[in-house]
Chain A
């Protein structure tokens, strides 16, 4: 009774006092300075109590997100028991955990600061208490282990963070870019019930380094350490590697020495002494892939139960250290995917058959091992950062990729990416592992495996229905004809996140296919989502009698002139041509023909780009479709509805003839995006970047010709002149991203054993 509390609410701290305690219900009554009262349980009270030591805090339900993401992470909570033990001596040598900067009990830590993270499952911003800089004492909620303020890494790429909404003035409106990797936190270890031991100053368990993989929205495990400092230092290392030598937020100051140890010799990039310059960039790319994959692999290992594996603890420890030193730390990151495959193989060799899911037969396992032995490629990063909305579909897909006959690109060859995903998502029976943790003996795992089989069947049904066109509730079989439609629907749904948009795209697609001849009718308004009204026009105060001369009567000049005139300026527009419009040049063809046969054709600008009805809405689209109600027709660049190809002899190529080349072209674009978004230097041209990627695909002459032609159609200047970084970073990115449609990767599902 009488203890003081401080609670942050709406950004302000309120002082209060504990006035009574309800022993039967276990609630404390707290009265605040402004007269408010609140009931709190013990845990809530601890959060706000002034000057109290943190005690006995049990885990909160932060793991929801993980559980919903996929079934695998449910099992993840049951950890293999800790193998390493710490001697008291070891612990005595190092400073106690609570002396780390940012720890609640460390000097200078301000309580009550709140951080915001994005709950991807519920699509909402959530506010959480900051408990440390990179240290978290809450389960899974590594999401709190960032500094006070907005951590952009927690937001989806491209999402605008509104500081007003989040309650921060410090940050101006920001958009998360995709160059920042996930972040890492250190947390306490779990007990056998999946609960995290609370972090108290006298905590003597293990400290785990966890990486939040923002792209897949799961935490990854990066090692376990006896002391908070060791864990924090390990975090620093991984953080630097993930940031590829760029400044990273670390617990301890980064010195040149530690940087050199990690291979970041010069000011900026990865260890590029061996490869140099551009090679360094490419190398950095591989490192980023290797790190994410190593984290994935370590998480897989971390989830295995002792009963489910063979081998001695020392062997497993050595394996773990090997993965960490070879792939997680930059110093000796192997560009060699086969070395990584060997690590995977070692693990699979030691998992007992009972721990594999029922469908993972000996034969399939053998196939997997063969692929693993032959594996020399990392795979596309785009496969890892797959942006398909359906997790289950992605899962089913990776399995199919594994089972697909060799020869394809996405996993068919057995890339690390595909093999590891198949291992994580398909091979290991998570239900069985969970049962093992629950005390079920190894010989009695049949029910668990049956449960798993049933769950998988459900996932597959869903995947199939999606493939059958049931995207957002629009049934219809996938034929070659409406694949493009599906692709555009999918693109739209990815781009806009709006079911209405997807439906509109599909139905417009139908009208394009079905209404071949004759005049096209049908308004935009009937199928399109309502276009939001334009932003209210804000008049700027102008000096009275201001004379403005606008040079050029193109769209920019005319628009500026109308707005200025509306604000009271005296505007004169002068234009060199004998017409207005500038590069908008619409001319009528067929002057000798009757009026209904004439056509107005645009010889300049013809397409309104970015016609998405969700904000930010392209103002020109708003004006053309919303205000002027002009009739717009979407074009398709890709897919069967987008292209008809003609071979060197002029004959039309059937879609089957170009499928493999399209597949490879997609892969090249995906890789290009990787290169460009990560590390392209300003001097790299698209051509120079693309050629080695094309070469790496081993295309036939026809395929190369196809890819070159396709690429030359991408933009208005020769690829030898275009800067990769410049064009991908902003405007051109639309082109690449749009082209890079995930639908191509679903094609192999159609002929898979699942159907």
Chain B
């Protein structure tokens, strides 16, 4: 049974990527030894996962029974006794990866019943001397408009202001080009800070729901959902968000 974890939400200075990197480098939680993962293949787009009959249940490493994973632009499938699927919920929902035989209904129902939300950002780096927004508040929230601003500057990332696209406007903003989205954010900022607004040094725009490897960034419980136990991994299987 999951229980909500108490405590703060804390920004990882230097990037959350450090955690992923440490995991790949095999740093043991007790910190005592590390053994990097031997075989991590990037750019391998899975198209189909086929399991031998009778080994559908997880861990069914029957003698001789082999799972096959087909990768785009590769003729030969990769074979393994066990396939551990950590595909994001959005990808599973979108049906980009075929399962053979089909997933059992309880899994498919669980997949279909959850919702995949998106949190898009327009991250901007300004010169520290140029900071024109309030420096202490962690969030700048206009009551109207498409964006809320996370003031990462106040959290230790000097000069960084990050626009978060509000849930209602995700599609609208994803339809824009990077430049359009950025200009949209800047016009919101100009309405708030008038002529004090300066141009950032660099900005980056995300489109998580268009990302074929994510198709959204954050799962949620939509209306009408009910509980099913799913032996999968990933954030959508636990109650707390990370």
Contacts and interface: CB of A to CB of B under 8 A. Distances in A.
Interface in A487-523: 488, 492, 495-496, 501, 505, 512-513, 516-520
Interface in A612-637: 612-614, 616-624, 626-628, 630-637
B212 interface: yes
A577 B42 contact: yes
Nearest to A521: B156
B6 A734 contact: yes
Contacts of B88: 552, 554, 582-583
B29 A549 contact: no
Nearest to B119: A716
B21, B139, B225 pick with most chain A CB within 10 angstroms: B139
Contacts of B110: none
A646 B140 contact: yes
Contacts of B194: 650
A635 B223 contact: no
B45, B124, B221 pick with most chain A CB within 10 angstroms: B221
Contact of A713 (B82, B118, B148, B226): B148
A175 to B, nearest CB: 6
A516 B135 contact: yes
Given A635-B8, A721-B222, A593 B201 contact: yes
B137 to A, nearest CB: 4
Given A518-B158, A618-B5, A717-B220, A635 B10 contact: yes
Interface stretch (A18-26, A111-119, A248-256, A681-689): A681-689
Nearest to B220: A717
A731 B4 contact: yes
Nearest to A562: B26
A595 B60 CA distance: 50
Contacts of B166: 709, 712-713
A726 B24 contact: no
Contact of A618 (B7, B24, B222): B7
A585 B201 contact: no
Interface in A6-25: none
Contacts of B140: 643-644, 646
Given A584-B20, A602-B15, A602-B17, A633 B10 contact: yes
A637 B139 contact: yes
Given A565-B26, A646-B141, A634 B10 contact: yes
A551 B87 contact: yes
A598 B17 CA distance: 16
Interface string B68-85: 010100000011111111
B19 A641 contact: no
A553 interface: yes
Nearest to A513: B136
Given A537-B28, A723-B223, A731-B239, A553 B3 contact: no
A576 B45 contact: yes
A505 B46 CA distance: 45
Contacts of B127: 597
Contact of A650 (B11, B191, B240): B191
Contacts of B208: 583, 604
B22 interface: yes
Nearest to A617: B5
Nearest to A604: B217
Interface in A37-93: none
Contacts of B23: 555, 558-559, 562
A606 B12 contact: yes
Given A549-B80, A727-B221, A627 B29 contact: yes
B206 interface: yes
Contacts of B82: 546-549
Interface string A519-554: 110000000000001100100000100111111111
Interface residues of A, number: 142
Contacts of A160: 3
B94 interface: no
Contacts of A684: 223
Contacts of B212: 576
Contacts of A580: 20-21, 24, 40, 42
The main secondary structure of chain A at its interface with chain B is mixed
Nearest to B14: A600
A578 B43 contact: yes
Contacts of B155: 512, 633, 635
Contacts of B223: 682-685, 721-723
Interface stretch (B31-39, B101-109, B178-186): B31-39
B160 A589 contact: yes
Interface stretch (A399-407, A431-439, A567-575): A567-575
B137 A643 contact: yes
A533 B162 CA distance: 34
Contacts of A584: 16-17, 19-20
A109 B136 CA distance: 65
A717 B37 contact: no
A716 B141 contact: no
B7 A601 contact: no
Nearest to B232: A556
B10 A645 contact: no
A547, A562, A613, A737 pick with most chain B CB within 10 angstroms: A562
Contacts of A725: 221
Contact of B234 (A554, A597, A608, A616): A554
A731 B114 CA distance: 13
A601 B29 contact: no
A718 B83 contact: no
Given A575-B44, A622-B29, A726-B222, A589 B202 contact: yes
Given A717-B118, A734-B240, 17 more contacts: A520-B13, A534-B30, A549-B82, A553-B20, A553-B40, A557-B233, A562-B37, A582-B213, A586-B16, A611-B8, A637-B9, A644-B141, A646-B141, A650-B194, A718-B168, A721-B220, A723-B224
17 contacts: A158-B3, A548-B84, A550-B86, A551-B86, A554-B234, A556-B234, A560-B233, A592-B201, A602-B11, A606-B12, A606-B16, A608-B16, A628-B19, A628-B27, A723-B221, A732-B221, A737-B4
For the complex of A and B, list the 10 residue pairs with the smallest distance between their C-beta atoms, beginning with the closest.
Answer: A726-B221, A610-B5, A586-B15, A612-B7, A495-B6, A586-B17, A716-B117, A730-B239, A717-B117, A549-B80
